[in-house]
Amino acid sequence: MGASHNIVRVLSKLGICSRKQAVGYVQSGRVRLNGKIVRDPGAPARLTDNIVVAGKLPVKKEKIYIILNKPAGCVTTRSDELGRRTVYDYLGDMGQWLFPVGRLDLESEGLLLFTNDTELGNRLTDPRYKIPRTYNVTVDGVFSAGELDRIRRGGIAIGRGEITGPAVLSVIDEQPGSCTVRITLTEGKNRELRRMFEVFNKKVLRLLRTDFGGFKLGDIPPGQWRKCQIPASLN
Protein backbone atom coordinates (compact mmCIF):
# COMPACT_ATOMS: atom_id res chain seq x y z
CA MET A 1 0.00 0.00 0.00
CA GLY A 2 3.00 2.30 0.32
CA ALA A 3 4.50 4.14 3.24
CA SER A 4 2.31 6.53 5.22
CA HIS A 5 3.26 10.21 5.49
CA ASN A 6 1.23 13.29 6.32
CA ILE A 7 -0.78 15.01 3.60
CA VAL A 8 1.60 17.98 3.42
CA ARG A 9 4.59 15.76 2.77
CA VAL A 10 2.68 13.73 0.17
CA LEU A 11 1.73 16.89 -1.77
CA SER A 12 5.40 17.89 -1.74
CA LYS A 13 6.55 14.43 -2.79
CA LEU A 14 4.10 14.47 -5.70
CA GLY A 15 5.78 17.65 -6.90
CA ILE A 16 2.59 19.69 -6.60
CA CYS A 17 3.95 22.39 -4.30
CA SER A 18 6.29 23.11 -1.43
CA ARG A 19 5.39 21.92 2.07
CA LYS A 20 4.67 25.51 3.11
CA GLN A 21 2.27 25.95 0.20
CA ALA A 22 0.68 22.57 0.98
CA VAL A 23 -0.15 23.70 4.52
CA GLY A 24 -2.06 26.64 3.07
CA TYR A 25 -3.93 24.45 0.59
CA VAL A 26 -4.96 22.03 3.32
CA GLN A 27 -5.97 24.62 5.90
CA SER A 28 -8.10 26.47 3.32
CA GLY A 29 -10.04 23.29 2.51
CA ARG A 30 -8.76 22.96 -1.06
CA VAL A 31 -7.53 19.38 -0.64
CA ARG A 32 -9.67 16.24 -0.82
CA LEU A 33 -8.17 12.99 0.40
CA ASN A 34 -10.00 9.87 -0.75
CA GLY A 35 -13.16 11.91 -1.35
CA LYS A 36 -13.13 13.90 1.90
CA ILE A 37 -11.91 17.44 2.53
CA VAL A 38 -8.93 17.38 4.88
CA ARG A 39 -7.95 20.45 6.90
CA ASP A 40 -5.32 18.95 9.19
CA PRO A 41 -1.77 19.29 7.73
CA GLY A 42 -0.76 16.31 9.85
CA ALA A 43 -3.43 13.99 8.47
CA PRO A 44 -1.92 10.65 7.39
CA ALA A 45 -1.79 10.00 3.65
CA ARG A 46 -0.04 7.81 1.09
CA LEU A 47 1.34 8.53 -2.34
CA THR A 48 -1.16 6.02 -3.73
CA ASP A 49 -4.21 7.76 -2.19
CA ASN A 50 -6.78 9.58 -4.29
CA ILE A 51 -5.86 13.24 -3.79
CA VAL A 52 -7.59 16.20 -5.42
CA VAL A 53 -6.22 19.73 -5.08
CA ALA A 54 -8.45 22.70 -5.94
CA GLY A 55 -10.80 20.35 -7.82
CA LYS A 56 -8.11 18.79 -9.96
CA LEU A 57 -6.23 15.51 -9.83
CA PRO A 58 -2.42 15.89 -9.66
CA VAL A 59 -0.95 15.63 -13.14
CA LYS A 60 2.00 13.34 -13.72
CA LYS A 61 4.80 15.68 -14.73
CA GLU A 62 7.96 15.15 -16.72
CA LYS A 63 10.94 14.62 -14.47
CA ILE A 64 13.27 17.60 -14.59
CA TYR A 65 16.88 17.89 -13.46
CA ILE A 66 18.59 21.27 -13.27
CA ILE A 67 22.06 22.18 -12.05
CA LEU A 68 22.52 25.69 -10.71
CA ASN A 69 26.00 27.09 -10.08
CA LYS A 70 25.07 28.67 -6.76
CA PRO A 71 26.98 31.87 -6.02
CA ALA A 72 28.16 32.75 -2.53
CA GLY A 73 25.87 35.04 -0.57
CA CYS A 74 22.48 33.47 -1.36
CA VAL A 75 20.46 31.04 0.72
CA THR A 76 18.99 27.69 -0.29
CA THR A 77 15.37 28.52 0.52
CA ARG A 78 12.29 29.71 -1.35
CA SER A 79 12.18 32.98 0.63
CA ASP A 80 14.24 34.57 3.38
CA GLU A 81 12.97 36.53 6.37
CA LEU A 82 16.13 38.65 6.31
CA GLY A 83 15.59 39.68 2.71
CA ARG A 84 18.68 37.90 1.43
CA ARG A 85 18.86 36.63 -2.13
CA THR A 86 17.75 33.03 -2.56
CA VAL A 87 18.65 30.36 -5.08
CA TYR A 88 15.16 30.73 -6.58
CA ASP A 89 16.03 34.30 -7.58
CA TYR A 90 18.57 32.75 -9.96
CA LEU A 91 16.37 29.85 -11.00
CA GLY A 92 13.36 31.97 -11.93
CA ASP A 93 9.85 30.69 -12.63
CA MET A 94 10.06 27.13 -13.96
CA GLY A 95 6.29 26.74 -14.17
CA GLN A 96 6.25 24.05 -11.50
CA TRP A 97 7.66 23.25 -8.08
CA LEU A 98 11.31 22.16 -8.13
CA PHE A 99 13.12 21.46 -4.89
CA PRO A 100 16.84 21.58 -4.11
CA VAL A 101 18.44 18.24 -3.32
CA GLY A 102 20.29 18.98 -0.12
CA ARG A 103 21.62 22.43 0.61
CA LEU A 104 24.66 24.63 0.34
CA ASP A 105 25.11 27.16 3.14
CA LEU A 106 25.12 30.91 2.61
CA GLU A 107 28.77 31.31 1.58
CA SER A 108 29.21 27.97 -0.20
CA GLU A 109 29.18 27.83 -3.99
CA GLY A 110 28.79 25.42 -6.85
CA LEU A 111 26.60 22.52 -7.86
CA LEU A 112 23.06 22.65 -6.51
CA LEU A 113 20.66 20.16 -8.04
CA PHE A 114 16.96 20.98 -8.46
CA THR A 115 14.37 18.42 -9.49
CA ASN A 116 10.74 17.34 -9.16
CA ASP A 117 11.90 13.71 -8.85
CA THR A 118 11.28 13.05 -5.17
CA GLU A 119 12.40 9.42 -5.38
CA LEU A 120 15.82 10.45 -6.70
CA GLY A 121 16.04 13.33 -4.24
CA ASN A 122 15.44 10.98 -1.32
CA ARG A 123 18.01 8.52 -2.64
CA LEU A 124 20.71 11.17 -3.08
CA THR A 125 20.28 12.49 0.46
CA ASP A 126 19.79 9.16 2.25
CA PRO A 127 23.02 8.33 4.17
CA ARG A 128 22.49 4.61 3.49
CA TYR A 129 23.40 5.05 -0.17
CA LYS A 130 26.74 6.81 0.51
CA ILE A 131 26.36 9.16 -2.45
CA PRO A 132 29.70 10.90 -3.21
CA ARG A 133 29.97 14.68 -3.06
CA THR A 134 33.16 16.41 -4.23
CA TYR A 135 34.33 19.88 -3.25
CA ASN A 136 37.23 22.21 -3.93
CA VAL A 137 37.97 23.93 -0.64
CA THR A 138 40.46 26.75 -0.05
CA VAL A 139 41.59 27.31 3.53
CA ASP A 140 43.98 29.66 5.27
CA GLY A 141 47.21 27.87 6.11
CA VAL A 142 48.44 24.50 4.92
CA PHE A 143 47.87 20.95 6.13
CA SER A 144 50.56 18.69 7.45
CA ALA A 145 50.85 15.15 6.10
CA GLY A 146 49.49 13.88 9.41
CA GLU A 147 46.43 16.13 9.23
CA LEU A 148 45.68 15.00 5.68
CA ASP A 149 45.89 11.38 6.78
CA ARG A 150 43.51 12.02 9.69
CA ILE A 151 40.95 13.56 7.36
CA ARG A 152 41.25 10.63 4.94
CA ARG A 153 40.74 8.08 7.73
CA GLY A 154 37.72 9.86 9.21
CA GLY A 155 36.66 9.50 12.81
CA ILE A 156 37.06 13.21 13.59
CA ALA A 157 34.67 14.57 16.22
CA ILE A 158 33.06 17.74 14.83
CA GLY A 159 30.56 18.46 17.61
CA ARG A 160 26.87 17.64 18.15
CA GLY A 161 27.95 14.05 18.73
CA GLU A 162 28.87 13.66 15.05
CA ILE A 163 31.93 11.88 13.64
CA THR A 164 33.30 12.24 10.12
CA GLY A 165 33.54 9.28 7.77
CA PRO A 166 36.46 8.43 5.47
CA ALA A 167 37.25 10.90 2.70
CA VAL A 168 39.21 10.98 -0.55
CA LEU A 169 41.49 13.99 -0.32
CA SER A 170 44.25 15.59 -2.39
CA VAL A 171 46.00 18.96 -2.36
CA ILE A 172 45.49 20.65 -5.73
CA ASP A 173 47.12 24.03 -5.03
CA GLU A 174 49.33 25.49 -2.36
CA GLN A 175 50.20 29.15 -1.92
CA PRO A 176 51.96 31.06 0.87
CA GLY A 177 49.40 31.12 3.67
CA SER A 178 46.68 29.08 1.96
CA CYS A 179 45.97 25.87 0.11
CA THR A 180 43.18 24.30 -1.91
CA VAL A 181 42.16 20.68 -1.46
CA ARG A 182 39.81 18.46 -3.43
CA ILE A 183 37.78 16.29 -1.11
CA THR A 184 35.07 13.69 -1.68
CA LEU A 185 32.67 12.69 1.08
CA THR A 186 29.87 10.14 1.09
CA GLU A 187 27.73 11.85 3.71
CA GLY A 188 25.91 15.16 4.01
CA LYS A 189 26.25 16.40 7.57
CA ASN A 190 25.37 20.06 8.10
CA ARG A 191 28.40 22.30 7.44
CA GLU A 192 30.60 19.23 7.82
CA LEU A 193 33.64 20.55 5.96
CA ARG A 194 33.71 23.88 7.77
CA ARG A 195 33.33 22.17 11.14
CA MET A 196 35.98 19.56 10.29
CA PHE A 197 38.57 22.09 9.15
CA GLU A 198 37.95 24.14 12.31
CA VAL A 199 39.30 21.16 14.24
CA PHE A 200 42.64 21.86 12.53
CA ASN A 201 42.33 25.63 13.08
CA LYS A 202 41.78 26.20 9.38
CA LYS A 203 39.26 28.79 8.23
CA VAL A 204 37.45 28.03 4.98
CA LEU A 205 38.02 30.86 2.50
CA ARG A 206 36.08 29.29 -0.35
CA LEU A 207 33.99 26.13 -0.70
CA LEU A 208 32.85 25.01 -4.16
CA ARG A 209 30.90 21.79 -4.83
CA THR A 210 31.83 20.35 -8.23
CA ASP A 211 30.22 16.86 -8.26
CA PHE A 212 27.22 15.24 -6.59
CA GLY A 213 26.20 11.63 -7.21
CA GLY A 214 27.32 11.66 -10.84
CA PHE A 215 25.98 15.15 -11.59
CA LYS A 216 28.81 17.52 -12.55
CA LEU A 217 29.05 21.31 -12.40
CA GLY A 218 31.17 21.53 -15.53
CA ASP A 219 31.49 24.98 -17.09
CA ILE A 220 28.19 26.48 -15.88
CA PRO A 221 28.94 30.12 -14.92
CA PRO A 222 28.11 31.33 -11.38
CA GLY A 223 24.44 32.29 -11.08
CA GLN A 224 23.49 30.33 -14.21
CA TRP A 225 21.72 26.98 -14.55
CA ARG A 226 21.41 24.21 -17.08
CA LYS A 227 19.01 21.31 -17.62
CA CYS A 228 20.69 17.91 -17.54
CA GLN A 229 19.98 14.21 -17.72
CA ILE A 230 20.13 11.80 -14.83
CA PRO A 231 23.60 10.17 -14.81
CA ALA A 232 23.81 6.57 -15.98
CA SER A 233 25.27 5.62 -12.60
CA LEU A 234 21.93 6.48 -10.95
CA ASN A 235 19.68 4.58 -13.36
105 among known catalytic residues: yes
The CA distance from 192 to 164, in Å, is 8
> What is the residue type of 71?
P
Strand partners, 135: 183, 209
Within a 10 A sphere around the Cβ of 186, how many other Cβ atoms? 15
Q: What is the full DSSP assignment across 41-91?
A: TT-EEETTS-EEETTBPPPP----EEEEEEPTT-BSSS--TT---BHHHHH
| Rounded Cα distance, 161 and 164, in Å | 10
Contact 58, 19 (CB under 8 A): no
Query: Strands 109-115 and 204-212: what pairing?
Result: parallel
Q: Please compute, for residue 2, the number of CA atoms within 13 A of its CA located in the half-sphere on the CB side.
A: 10
Among residues 49, 89, 105, 149, the one annotated as catalytic is 105
Cite the active site residues. 105
